[in-house]
Chain A
Amino acid sequence: MTAPAARIHVAHTSAPAPHHYTTLGLDSRKVAIWAFIGSECMLFVSLISTYLIYKGRSVVGPFPHETWTDPTTGHVLKPILNIPVTSASTFVLLMSSLFMVLALAAVQNKEKPKHSRGDRILGNSKLWLWMTAIAGTTFLGFQAFEFTSFVHEGLTIRTNLFGSSFFTLTGFHGAHVTAGVLWLVTLLAIDYRRGLGSRDSLLVDIAALYWHFVDVIWIVIFTLVYLIK
């Protein structure tokens, strides 16, 4: 049994890691989150494939990478994707994964003595959970900005195949980020209420796995949708 060896009896505002025998010696929640992530891969594969299949098939603009002239009105619509802005939001999301790693490390090393100011900052789980959640929220802010500006420029989910598949794909990803932020806020609430310690590292661990997964998916989306013309 490799579950946390010395469990301290503290009020559990979360489900305790049970001391049952497990075949792998891992907590079952860790196995389940991997199964979940496997399933989520197929979800995003379906969304991304549809986007790629419909790439270049829209009969009216705006288009992602090409200009389009409306044959009836003569309006010229510029390529709609704003790659510099999205690069910034991508950077923020990538940073959030770094913060997530630091948050997990802080929780895992909670009981280790802190000798320096640097140790104390690195060991501050609340700080890093906040940073991760804020970075995630910032990413969502960028997405809200992107979506509204697209609508102003004449691209809605109904406009064309690109609009339908783009908003659905990135919207699904945004919904996943939103769920992740809620998860982080929940962890923060537990941290404020009773303090997250190394015995809770699994709770943060599975949240981190999910968060990194959502981040990796964004890298795929950013590459396939924004960077490749």
Chain B
Amino acid sequence: MATTAISTPAYRGEYSGEQSGLWSWLSTVDHKRIGILYLYTALFFFMFGGVEALILRAQLGAPNQHLVSAEFYNQLFTMHGTTMIFLAIMPLSAAFFNFLIPLQIGARDVAFPRLNAFSYWVYLFGGIFITVPILFAVAPNGGWFGYAPLTTKPYSPGINIDFWVIGLQILGVSSLAAAFNFLTTIINLRAPGMTLMRMPMFTWMAFVVQFLLVLAFPVITIALVFLLFDRFFGTNFYNTVSAGADPLLWQHLFWIFGHPEVYILVLPAFGLVSEVLPTYSRKPLFGYPVMVYSGILIAALGFGVWAHHMFAVGMGPIADTFFGLTTMLIAIPTGVKIFNWIATMAQGAIRYTTSMLFGIGLVGLFTIGGISGIMHSSPPADLQQTDTYFIVAHFHYVLFGGSIMGIFAGIYHYFPKIQGRLMDEKLGKIHFWLTFIAMNLTFFPMHFSGMLGMPRRIYTYDAGQGWDLYNAMSTAGAMIFPIAMLIFIYNFFKSRKSGEIAGSNPWGAGTLEWSIPSPPPDYNFAKIPTVTSRYPLWEGKEVDHESARINSQEGKTAAELGIVMPYNTIKPLLVALGLIIMFCGLMTTPILIAAGAALLVFSLYSWLLSPLEPEHH
């Protein structure tokens, strides 16, 4: 390539600003477009996991049903959990990380745009890898936390668990790459004046989540490596029978990852709601610094509570007491957040938009999930509740009532920024109320069926144990979800095509992302703003008027403004593809491993040795 790069655009993958066509999506490195790819893919997997749940609920609707076999039921609940956690909620959060973080901190893109594309493609391929087996009834069947030794070869001889082990390993690569990227972006690409304590709360919570990802994912990586080695190479990590392995090793490693994972799932939703509630209450977030500290505290304590998932294994009174206490402590920062949200709304000029309804929904429903969580933080109580539907009720209130409600609040709030048009509020409200009713009708009765002793993960049950009514209610509630989702999807695509034009700040919000046109131009900010407060758009006297005027202009291209943009490139996709082919080879033939490795190495070097963007002048 040599010195020609100076004078002529010698590089083939030149940035063209092209915003349409399949190739532009395959080769994009724009954080906003990657965010949209995450959004669509994760919504697809969300519905896929939803269909799995519907089959589960249909099977359990009445006693002694045999819609699906016990074996397929195992695959369904395993994949329902795996899909919702790793393929739906985490990537939905990632969609917002991608779209919002650079906009909220006043950056042109993430720190490593090509690595960002790589994360997405690994996620997509890994998602397909782990999802396809269920279509052939060979899906993972060991539960979403895949307890070893159950998942070792002697007890799970099929290829089902192999898909799970390798699939999660692939998804871990995606999450870690994205975490390094966002962590660096938030640390290093904040606009002048955007101090840490001026960052929007969503970016703050995203920041905390990246630390959790960076520190928690290596632990499950190793746990999975052990399981992979046990299954493929005959090592003894989980071989309790002849080698004397510790039957709790997996549980410890898994939950050291698994509990921080819970906060990885819910903190982004907390962040979104912390943007939504102030906007529709016309008040700054109440107790901003305390919200920051409580988020950090939740994350830090989250690393010290893992064994509360293991009270039933008999760890002894000291461990039980310690983990019971730390678990109860987490309720304090979480409670602080709840009260601060309420105080944010108190005496505010509240507008009940769909987004606001979902936001308030989170505050209420997450609180219910939090309170049932406190109930089983006590080991004696937990021994009554563990592995029953009470636990299922608890974590669905936390993950549906928390994460999903928050994510929907975020979607309705940010749809105008992403698509440039408003979503239909009337359909939105129908969606909210149906979701709210379905959610409570499905999951609230599970508290009772669980307390009456109904275990998790049984594929059917006998009549007359007092569970029939509650199961019928849960199933009836579950059947409302698809109606709500269809309304949402219709609204989404209709509004995308013909919704009311939004303008740059339809909600009168206060943070930076609302100062630029909707949808934002590829370069985001024509002029990088200087930030002087937490809500620059609300505190007009402090706004840098000149850069605000420049940034609100529409229709200028990056070239006209003299902004250097990264080249589009297909290489991250190829590296991701090489990685997947290697992992597929692990399950089939070494030739594929070699082919995948060749593709990976070749495209990786090609990527690293080619410039990100044109040389600066």
Residues of A within 8 A of B (CB): 7, 9-16, 18-24, 26, 28, 31-32, 35-36, 38-40, 42-43, 45-47, 50, 53-54, 57-59, 157-158, 160-161, 163-165, 168, 186
Knowing that A10-B3, A58-B243, A157-B233 touch, tell me 19 more A-B residue pairs with CB under 8 angstroms: A12-B5, A14-B608, A15-B611, A18-B613, A18-B616, A20-B108, A23-B189, A28-B185, A28-B188, A31-B184, A32-B112, A35-B214, A43-B219, A46-B219, A57-B244, A157-B229, A157-B235, A168-B225, A168-B229
- Whole-angstrom CA separation of A11 from B528 in the bound complex: 29
Hey, which chain A residues are within 8 Å of B246, CB to CB?
53-54, 57
* Shortest Cβ gap from B545 to chain A (Å): 20
Hey, which chain B residues are within 8 Å of A20, CB to CB?
108, 189
Asked whether, in the complex, the Cβ of A59 is within 8 Å of the Cβ of B181, the reply is: no
- Whole-angstrom CA separation of A47 from B235 in the bound complex: 14
The reply to whether the CB of B561 lies closer than 8 angstroms to some CB of chain A is no
Interface residues on B, range: 35 or more
Give the residue of B3, B216, B237 whose beta carbon is less than 8 angstroms from that of A50: B237
The reply to whether the CB of B111 lies closer than 8 angstroms to some CB of chain A is yes
Once A11-B2, A23-B190, A46-B218 are accepted as A-B contacts, the answer to whether A164 and B184 lie under 8 Å apart by CB is: no
A-B contact pairs, 16 of them (CB 8 A): A7-B616, A15-B608, A15-B612, A21-B192, A23-B188, A23-B189, A26-B188, A31-B187, A36-B180, A40-B218, A45-B219, A50-B249, A58-B244, A157-B234, A163-B236, A168-B235
- Whole-angstrom CA separation of A1 from B52 in the bound complex: 53
Hey, which chain B residues are within 8 Å of A7, CB to CB?
616
The reply to whether the CB of B135 lies closer than 8 angstroms to some CB of chain A is no
Hey, which chain A residues are within 8 Å of B235, CB to CB?
157-158, 163-164, 168
Give the residue of A9, A24, A47, A54 whose beta carbon is less than 8 angstroms from that of B187: A24
- Whole-angstrom CA separation of A59 from B242 in the bound complex: 8
The reply to whether the CB of B223 lies closer than 8 angstroms to some CB of chain A is yes
* Shortest Cβ gap from A8 to chain B (Å): 11
Asked whether, in the complex, the Cβ of A161 is within 8 Å of the Cβ of B612, the reply is: no
Hey, which chain A residues are within 8 Å of B609, CB to CB?
13-14
Once A18-B616, A32-B181 are accepted as A-B contacts, the answer to whether A43 and B233 lie under 8 Å apart by CB is: no
Hey, which chain B residues are within 8 Å of A158, CB to CB?
233-236
* Shortest Cβ gap from A173 to chain B (Å): 13
| Chain B residue at minimal CB-CB distance from A33 | B180
Asked whether, in the complex, the Cβ of A28 is within 8 Å of the Cβ of B189, the reply is: yes
Hey, which chain B residues are within 8 Å of A12, CB to CB?
1, 5, 611, 615
Q: 8 tightest A-B contacts by CB?
A: A43-B218, A46-B222, A28-B111, A164-B235, A42-B218, A11-B2, A32-B184, A23-B190
Per-residue contact bits, chain B 602-617, to A (CB 8 Å; 1 contact, 0 not): 0001001111110110
Asked whether, in the complex, the Cβ of B187 is within 8 Å of the Cβ of A23, the reply is: yes
The reply to whether the CB of B221 lies closer than 8 angstroms to some CB of chain A is yes
Asked whether, in the complex, the Cβ of A59 is within 8 Å of the Cβ of B243, the reply is: yes
The reply to whether the CB of B502 lies closer than 8 angstroms to some CB of chain A is no
Hey, which chain A residues are within 8 Å of B194, CB to CB?
23
Hey, which chain A residues are within 8 Å of B189, CB to CB?
20, 22-23, 28
Asked whether, in the complex, the Cβ of B233 is within 8 Å of the Cβ of A38, the reply is: no
* Shortest Cβ gap from A215 to chain B (Å): 19
- Whole-angstrom CA separation of A16 from B216 in the bound complex: 32
Hey, which chain A residues are within 8 Å of B180, CB to CB?
32, 35-36, 39
Once A14-B609, A31-B188 are accepted as A-B contacts, the answer to whether A59 and B233 lie under 8 Å apart by CB is: no
Asked whether, in the complex, the Cβ of B3 is within 8 Å of the Cβ of A9, the reply is: yes
| Chain B residue at minimal CB-CB distance from A46 | B222
The reply to whether the CB of B217 lies closer than 8 angstroms to some CB of chain A is yes
The reply to whether the CB of B226 lies closer than 8 angstroms to some CB of chain A is yes
Which residue, B112, B180, B192, B610, has most C-beta atoms of chain A within 10 A? B180
* Shortest Cβ gap from B56 to chain A (Å): 33
* Shortest Cβ gap from A33 to chain B (Å): 9
The reply to whether the CB of B245 lies closer than 8 angstroms to some CB of chain A is yes
| Chain B residue at minimal CB-CB distance from A60 | B243
- Whole-angstrom CA separation of A13 from B242 in the bound complex: 54
| Chain A residue at minimal CB-CB distance from B111 | A28
- Whole-angstrom CA separation of A108 from B234 in the bound complex: 48
Asked whether, in the complex, the Cβ of B111 is within 8 Å of the Cβ of A31, the reply is: yes
- Whole-angstrom CA separation of A157 from B225 in the bound complex: 13
- Whole-angstrom CA separation of A52 from B108 in the bound complex: 47
Hey, which chain A residues are within 8 Å of B219, CB to CB?
42-43, 45-46
* Shortest Cβ gap from A37 to chain B (Å): 10
| Chain A residue at minimal CB-CB distance from B214 | A39
The reply to whether the CB of B315 lies closer than 8 angstroms to some CB of chain A is no
